[in-house]
Amino acid sequence: MQLPVRFGKYELQEFLGGGMSHVYRALDTVIGRQVAVKILTGDAARDVEAKERFLHEARISGTIQHDHIVTIHDYGEEEGFPYIVMEFLRGGDLRDAIRNGQAGDLLNRLRIAAETASALEFCHQRGIIHRDIKPENIFLEQSGRSKIMDFGISKAAGFNLTKAGNTMGTPYYMSPEQVMGVNITPQVDVYSYGIVLYELFTGERLVSGDSMERLFYVILNENPDPLKLQSAGAPKALADLVVKCAAKKPEERFQGFGAVRQALASVITEVRDGVAPRPGPSGAANTTTKKPAPAIKLGPIMAAGLCALLLGGAGLWFLLNKDKVKPGPTPPGNTGPAPTLAAKGGNMNLVPAGEFLFGSSRSPVKLPAFYMDVTEVGNRAYREFATASGHALPDAFAADAPSLPVTNVSFTDAKEFCTWAGKRLPDEREWEKAARGADGRNYPWGNDGRSAMANVSAKGPAPVDSFETGASPYKLLHMTGNVWEWIDHPHTPSAQAIESFGKMLTPKPTANEPWHYIKGGAYDRTLAEGVVYEWSSVPGRFTSPTIGFRCAQDLPESK
C-alpha cells in the first residue's frame, strides 16, 4: 500500500516488517503519540486459528504492565483486519546485538539477563507462560533497556489454544517438554531462558542441526558446556546458573524466576566488585583487569577497619565485639553526622550508610554514608559559580528564572561546578540509593505510578524546590522527572547509542570518547522513563534543555 494511509484513528507512516502480520510505525492521531501497529494480513485473518491466536496475544499482552515488557496500548479490528497497537521502540532485538557483537560487556549482558528474568517472573506470578523465549523476542532499546515481546503462543491459566501433543515454540529454544508435547509448565520458560543466556554469553547457539530430528536429539540429550561459557568470560557461578536453567528435567531447574534473579544478583555483585574475570576485547576472559572503584568503595571488613583506625584502637575493639556490648548513653558531642548540611551551591541531606537494593534485579549493595543535594542545581547557584570562576554560562541560560534547574550543561560543566562547591558528581549506586532508599522501590515515593508526584509529560521544567510530595526517603526532590541528571559512570556505549547520537552531534561521537549515564527522566518523558534504576547512555560533551545535575559529598571522616 502507498504510505502514509489512515487505518482507523492511526496514520500508518512506515512499514517495519512482518510475516503473517505486518508492523508499521504509526501516529495515533487522537493524542499525537508515535506507536507501532501490528496488523494481521488478509490471508491470516481468514484462518480462524491464526486470527484467534493473534487476538489471544492482544488479550494476554494487554493485561501485562511491566518495565521490561512491551506495552500494549490498544487492540481491535478494523475493516476485518485484527490489529494490536504497541509502544514504538527504537533499537533492535537481542539476536542482532549478539550477531553484531553489540550486547556490551559482561555487566551489561548480566543486566539484560536480570531484566528479562524480572519480566518473566512477573508473567509467571500472573499465570502466564510465554513459551517462546528467544533472542528475537527480547528487544533492546537505544538506551540499552530490554523488553520482552511477542506473546503470540503464550499460555494463560485456564486457556490452551493448542491441542495436546502439539509442539509450540521456536525449535532452537524449545524445552524437552515442548518437544515431547507434554507437561507445559512455567519451567519451559526457565529452560528457554537458559538457552538464550548460553548464546548471550558465548555468542553461539547451543542447539543446532541440519534436520528437525537432529535438533530434537540435541534438546533431549545434550547439555550446555560450562567450560565453554567460562572460556568466553563468564564466571563459574554464571556458567553453573546457565547449566541449571537448561537442565533436561523440569524439577532440576531453578524453581521459578525468583530463584534465578537471586542467583543472578550474586553474580552481578561478584562481577561489579571486581571478583570475577571480565571479558577482554575479543570476548576471552581477562583475569588481570578489575573494575576500578572509588577509594571509598571498600568492602564491609575493610571499611570497618578504616573507620576503626580513624576512631582509635578502642573503636576497633567495639566494632569487632559490638554484639557483646550493651548500648550506653551517647557521649556528649558525638551525635554522628548531621542529617542536613548547609553547603556551597545548595543544601544537602544525609544518605546513611548501609545496604540497599540496587538495579532492576534489586541486588543487595552496601554503601558508606554520604550527602546528596536536596535539589537539582538551579540557575541562581550556577550563575554564582560562573561569576566566581569565570566559567561560561550555558546556551539559553534562563537568567530571569533563578529557581529553575540549570540545563544545557555538559558532564564537564557539571563536574566543574561540583568541584567549585567542594562536592563531586554522584556515581550510579549513590544516586540510585538516594533516589529509592533501601527497599528497592521503583520511584522515590514508592512503587505506585502516580504521575502527579513528578514533573513528567510536561512542557517545561519546574522550580527545583517543588513537588515535595514526590520526595525520596531522604527528602530529596525531583529524582524522578524535571530534568535528567548527570552520573559519574564512565562506560563503553552500545552501537545503537553511538548511531543515535551521531545524528545529533558534530563531529559524530565514538566509543573512545567519554560517555556517562544520565538518570531520573525529564519533564518531556513519561513517568515510566523515570524509574529510578533506569538510565540512558550519553556522550559527556552532549548538552540538552532536559539535562541538569545535582552533587554529592563524602562525609568528613570518609575523606
Positions annotated as catalytic residues are 132
**SS3 (DSSP) at 27:** strand
Q: Would you say 357 and 440 are in contact if contact means Cβ atoms under 8 Å apart? A: yes
Edge to edge, the sheet with strand 146-148 lists 91-93, 138-141, 146-148
The CA angle 263-268-273, to the nearest 5 degrees, is 130
487: left (phi over 0), alpha (psi -120 to 50) or beta: beta
Cell of 66: 511491566
Label residues 108-138 b or e (16+ Cβ within 10 Å = b).
bbbbbbbbbbbbbbbbbeeebbbbbbbbebb
Please state whether beta strands 91-93 and 146-148 pair in parallel, antiparallel, or not at all (unpaired).
unpaired
Backbone angles phi, psi at 192, to 5 degrees: -60, -40
8 Å CB contact between 132 and 161:
no
Residue reference for cell 540499552: 144
What beta strand segments (E) does 449-549 contain?
484-487, 515-519, 536-539, 547-548
Residue type (1 letter), 444 = P
Q: Which three cell numbers stand for residue 286?
A: 581477562
- β-bridge partners, 12: 5, 26
On the 0-12 / 13-18 / 19+ scale of CB atoms within 10 A, 406 is buried
User: Which residue, among 134, 174, 18, has the nearest Cα to 86 in the 3D structure?
Assistant: 18
